[in-house]
Amino acid sequence: MRSQAICLAVFLALSGAAAAQPQVSSTCNKAPHTSERIKSPQLIAAKRAEHQACAADMATYCANVPKGCGRPKQCLKQHASQLSASCRSAWQNLRTMRHGA
Interval 12-64: pLDDT, tens: 555 554 444 444 555 676 555 554 467 889 999 999 999 999 999 999 999 99
Report d(CA 46, CA 97) in Å as an integer. Answer: 7
The candidate with the shortest Cα–Cα distance to 96, out of 42, 31, 38, is 42
- pTM of the predicted structure, to 2 decimals: 0.62
Whether the Cβ atoms of residue 87 and residue 54 lie closer than 8 Å to each other = yes
**Alpha helix stretches (DSSP H) within 1-101:** 2-20, 41-53, 55-61, 71-78, 85-99
The pLDDT value given to residue 93: 92
Interval 53-95: pLDDT, tens: 999 999 999 999 998 999 999 999 999 999 999 999 999 999 8
The pLDDT value given to residue 90: 95
Instruction: Name the more confident of 11 and 86.
Output: 86
Residue 8 binned pLDDT confidence (cut-offs 50, 70, 90): very low
Domain residue spans of the chain:
38-101
